[in-house]
Amino acid sequence: MYVVYLAVIAVVCAFLNWIFTDATFFATLLAWLLGVQVGLGALWAFLGHYYKSDQVAAYIGWRPGSPFQKEIAFANLALGGCGVLAFGLRHSPLRDGFWLATILFATFFLVGAFTVHAADLRVGGTQKPGNAGPVFFADICMPVVLWVLYLFI
C-alpha cells in the first residue's frame, strides 16, 4: 500500500511546487515522482527485502529464507539512489540524461518484477497482497506514467 501513499505524496508536492514556482507542470511532476515514488519507494523496498526478508517473502507469498531477497534488496537500493539523485539534479544541466537513465532503470526493473508477479499469479495462484496488490499494478503503471511525462517535457 505504500506505493499508493508515495504516489499521492509525490503528486501533492508536485502540484504545490508547480503552483508556487514558475516550474513547468510535467517536469515538476516527473521530478517528484522520480524522487518520492521511485526513489523513496525503492529505498523502502530495500529496507524490507534486506532487514525483514522473511516477512516480505511471506507478504508476497514466496518461500522465506531465499538469499535472492538480499539481491533484490540491493537492486532496490540502486534504484532508490538513482531516483533520489534524479530529484536532486532537477535543476542541473545533467538532468535530462540522468532522468532518462533512471526511467530506463525503473522500467526494466519494474516491468521485470511485474512479469514475475504475473507469472506467479497465473501459474502459482499466489494472490497475496505483495504479489497481486497495489505493487503489482504500480510495477506496470509507473513506467508508463514516467515515460509519458518524460515525452512531454
Residues 45-70: pLDDT tens digits? 999 999 999 999 999 888 898 888 89
- Of 82, 9, 96, the closest CA to residue 39 belongs to 82
pLDDT at 143 over 90: yes
Q: Residue 67's pLDDT is what?
A: 85
- Please, what is the angle between helix 134-152 and helix 25-32, to 10°? 140
SS3 category, 55: helix
Confidence class for position 129, pLDDT limits 50, 70, 90: confident
Q: Residue 131's pLDDT is what?
A: 77
Which grid cell is 54? 522473511
Q: Residue 7's pLDDT is what?
A: 96
Of 5-9, 66-70, 97-101, the range with the lowest mean pLDDT is 66-70
Which grid cell is 104? 530506463
Average pLDDT, integer, range 80-107: 96
**Helix extents (H) in 21-133:** 25-32, 41-51, 53-60, 68-88, 95-119, 129-132
Domain count for the chain: 1
- The domain in which residue 9 lies consists of 2-152
Q: Residue 44's pLDDT is what?
A: 97
pLDDT at 71 over 80: yes
